Amino acid sequence: MKFLGNKATVMPLAAIAAMLAFGMPQADAQGLFERLFGGGIRHTPQGDFPPPPSRQKSRFKPNATAPAVSRSAGNKRSGGGGGAVQISSPSYYTYKSDPLVRVDFSTLAVTPGPAMPQDAAFQPSSATPSSVTGAAFREAIAGLGDYELYAEKDIAKALVAYYSANPDFIWVTGASANSRAQDAVRVLGEAASYGLTPADYTVEVPAASVSTSDADARLKELVRFEMALSARVLRYVHDAQSGRVDPNRMTGYYDFPAKPLDMEGVLKTLARTQQARTYLESRHPQNVEYQALRVELESLQASAEDEIVVDPKLLLKPGETSPELPKLLAKIARNLDDEMGGAYGEILARLATSEVYDPELVPVIKAVQKKAGMKGDGVIGPRTVAALAGTSKVDKIQKVKVALEELRWLPSDLGSPRVFINQPAFTASYIENGEEKLKTRAVIGKTTNQTSFFYDQVEQVDFHPYWGVPQSILVNEMLPRLRRDPGYLDRAGYEVVNARGKRIPSSSVNWGAYGAKIPYGVRQLPSEANALGELKILFPNKHAIYMHDTPQKSFFQRDMRALSHGCVRLQDPRGMAAAVLGTSVDYIAEKLKHGHSTEKVARTIPVYVAYFTAWPDMSGNVEYFHDVYDRDTRLQQALDSTEAVRSPAS
């Protein structure tokens, strides 16, 4: 399995000394600093996020309606002196699908075969010799002259290339569509069961009856069906394997490698096999999570809508009023067990129709919040509504379809062991052999410092780590103070290094001379106050995101835990470190007694920094979460754009 990320490791002290002793090419301090101490790359947002790839900037413009995101990183506005310079975050883009192109059949170079009786190719036989069908195909090419078939550019190219090299039918035998074609058409028609849109793959199948009176017309009909079905099959295979949209074109927060697809190879395989259904279905992700989501989608589509639907954005504090409150109370009353009913049944019955959040109801809300695993604060918000009232059928279906699309961006086999971080759930799990051996609460990036969606590979654990301060935090948060108080870093437990890796006093730097490009590296020394706590788990990537401990333990008691600069903080970092190192928590505790050190992870462990608002637990039960970054909405816009481009296609 191939994973993303620019790999960087913490160098041993001897190597550092050798570099400094013998010299090295001149580099900026931050670049050297990051190589030595694993601080990421200098153009990351709050140390976390990449700028949009340069090849995309000219094609996709940021969404003008997207909320402005500051105090993070990506695109820099550089400058010097005392100006208020910031490193900005990645953008969300208004997704624009590539237009379809008309397939240019005039370039279909086929060498004519031997002449044969015109109607010989129309004998209804499933065992028509290849030479006969090939000859019919060569003759049929003339019927494509004025045929307007539109397809994606790479599909149009693959069609012409394949049929030029393989001048024969795949989907036609004799004078009609063969069993292979019938199987393929059935699979395309079942696309909705995968959360896809069947209309994207519709092909009109020629009638089975054959009229030998107009062989030319029949031949034209068959060759056009051949090309249309091949084009839609290739679209289906692409969508099943990689998804309908390119996530990297949606936002700089998404970072996924392309999944190569040999389209000519797909057609070659289908031309040789009679197992078209098996082959096409195998192009979808082959993991249990994908199958669980499919089962959930089928169940939802067959179920009745809940008659009580509570506004998922309801926000209500004691004393406030909302017509949504009686609906929420009705949902709570419906699900009361004996214990809760005995304690709160009378209150719920008496105030069932109240639109005022009466103080008497606060203990009820707190109790059901705690039972749902939430902090019992008595405030009714989106997470409380989601936990107590559930999600409407329509919203659930939408979330499941989005999750199926997002799973297509990931490897088909997610790997074992693996680490899976689901941002909307605020959890991180270690999974091995189909068992969730560790699940811990997590803190993710604030909406203004969002955690990216990508996958990589765990490489090492740092004990009592240094924290290499990202340029974004240095510029956006520290620089204003340093201009007033240059010695601040010296007193606060930080070190400053210059371009050659030499430590210098913070007070010796003229911080007022710099803007978004500061030629110094800054790191925080290991301590109880260190932002990374007692350990961090590295999977070096261009977003400078990793898992780590934190001194801010109270954050884990909150239900909404989008509170960091973008990295993933763990409630049980020792447990996760023990899991990825294949050791015990006692071993981790012993390592922590001996100061700063690092240990490599000896196994291949993929880590998914994922974003799913619908996700199955290990029993296959799908759970639903609040869309904390509003990414589902943006993905739906991209899907709508794709569907709009495809809808007029013939």
- Using CA atoms, how far residue 613 sits from 181, 266, 387, in Å, is 37, 33, 13
SS3 of residue 332 by DSSP: helix
pLDDT for 228 equals 98
The neighbour count for residue 199, using CB atoms within 10 Å, is 12
Q: Choosing from 43, 238, 543, 548, which is the catalytic residue?
A: 548
The neighbour count for residue 312, using CB atoms within 10 Å, is 18
Q: Judge contact between 482 and 511, C-beta under 8 A.
A: yes
- Supply angle C-alpha 51, 55, 61, rounded to 5: 70
Q: How far apart are CA 171 and CA 225, in angstroms?
A: 8
236 Cβ partners below 8 Å, 6+ apart?
A: 187, 188, 191, 196, 200, 201, 280, 283
Query: Average of pLDDT values for 628-632?
Result: 97
pLDDT in tens, 482-523: 999 999 999 999 999 998 889 999 999 999 998 888 999 999
Query: Average of pLDDT values for 625-640?
Result: 96
Q: Choosing from 238, 284, 543, 567, which is the catalytic residue?
A: 567
Q: Is beta strand 562-564 parallel, antiparallel or unpaired with respect to 503-504?
A: unpaired
pLDDT at position 77 over 60: no
pLDDT in tens, 293-319: 999 999 999 987 667 888 888 999 999
According to DSSP H, which parts of 355-392 are helical?
362-371, 382-389
pLDDT for 311 equals 87
pLDDT for 110 equals 55
Q: Band the pLDDT of 31: cuts 50, 70, 90.
A: very low
Q: Judge contact between 327 and 363, C-beta under 8 A.
A: no
Share of the chain above pLDDT 70, in %: 81
Q: Band the pLDDT of 211: cuts 50, 70, 90.
A: low
Q: How far apart are CA 228 and CA 200, in angstroms?
A: 12
pLDDT at position 56 over 90: no
pLDDT for 415 equals 97
Q: Enter the DSSP assignment of 629.
A: T
pLDDT for 133 equals 59
- Catalytic residue at 594? no
Query: Average of pLDDT values for 383-407?
Result: 89
Residue with tokens 């998922």: 312
pLDDT at position 436 over 90: yes
Residue 582's nearest CA partner among 473, 358, 430 is 430
Three-class secondary structure assignment of 393-455: HHHHHHHHHHHHHHHCCCCCCCCCCEEEEEHHHCEEEEEECCEEEEEEEEEEECCCCCCCEEE
Q: Is the dihedral of CA 78, 80, 81, 87 positive or negative?
A: positive
pLDDT for 58 equals 32
pLDDT in tens, 119-136: 333 233 344 445 555 678
Q: Judge contact between 222 and 172, C-beta under 8 A.
A: yes
Compute CA 453 distance to the chain's CA centroid, rounded to the nearest angstrom: 5
Neighbouring-strand partners of residue 73: none
pLDDT at position 23 over 70: no
Q: Enter the DSSP assignment of 351.
A: T
pLDDT at position 20 over 90: no
pLDDT for 599 equals 98
Is residue 129 reached through a cis peptide bond, with omega within 30 degrees of 0 on the bond before it? no
613 Cβ partners below 8 Å, 6+ apart?
A: 399, 402, 403, 424, 624, 625, 626, 627, 632
Lowest mean pLDDT among 9-18, 208-217, 325-334: 9-18
pLDDT for 41 equals 31
Q: Is beta strand 547-548 parallel, antiparallel or unpaired with respect to 535-538?
A: antiparallel
Q: Judge contact between 230 and 137, C-beta under 8 A.
A: no
Q: How far apart are CA 217 and CA 252, in angstroms?
A: 51
How much of the chain is helix, strand and coil, in % rounded to 5? 40, 15, 45
Compute CA 395 distance to the chain's CA centroid, rounded to the nearest angstrom: 19
pLDDT for 594 equals 94
Interhelix angle 215-242/153-165, rounded to 10 degrees, is 130
Q: Judge contact between 89 and 448, C-beta under 8 A.
A: yes
pLDDT at position 47 over 70: no
pLDDT for 129 equals 45
288 Cβ partners below 8 Å, 6+ apart?
A: 434, 616, 620
Radius of gyration of the chain (CA): 30
Query: Average of pLDDT values for 265-293?
Result: 97
- For residue 502, give the amino acid letter: K
Q: Where are the domains of the chain?
A: 101-244+257-286
Q: Is beta strand 460-463 parallel, antiparallel or unpaired with respect to 503-504?
A: unpaired
Q: Judge contact between 108 and 163, C-beta under 8 A.
A: yes
Residue with tokens 């190879």: 265
pLDDT for 261 equals 97
pLDDT at position 584 over 70: yes
Share of the chain above pLDDT 90, in %: 64
Q: Is the dihedral of CA 390, 395, 400, 404 positive or negative?
A: negative
pLDDT for 478 equals 92
pLDDT in tens, 223-273: 999 999 999 999 999 999 999 999 999 999 999 999 999 999 999 999 999
Q: Enter the DSSP assignment of 316.
A: B
Query: Average of pLDDT values for 376-394?
Result: 84
pLDDT at position 76 over 50: no
DSSP E strands, 80-122: 101-102
In terms of Cβ atoms closer than 10 Å to its own Cβ (0-12, 13-18, 19+), residue 232 is buried
615: part of which helix (H) or strand (E)?
strand 614-616
Residue with tokens 């050659």: 500
Of 156 and 127, the one with more pLDDT: 156
Q: pTM for this structure?
A: 0.79
Q: Work out the mean pLDDT of the chain and round it to a whole number.
A: 84
- For residue 266, give the amino acid letter: V
Query: Average of pLDDT values for 58-77?
Result: 35
pLDDT for 612 equals 98
pLDDT for 357 equals 95
pLDDT in tens, 446-469: 999 999 999 999 999 999 999 888
pLDDT for 68 equals 35
Residue 615 phi/psi, 5° resolution? -155, 135
- Catalytic residue at 548? yes
The listed range with the strongest mean pLDDT (284-288, 340-344, 380-384) is 284-288
186: part of which helix (H) or strand (E)?
helix 179-189
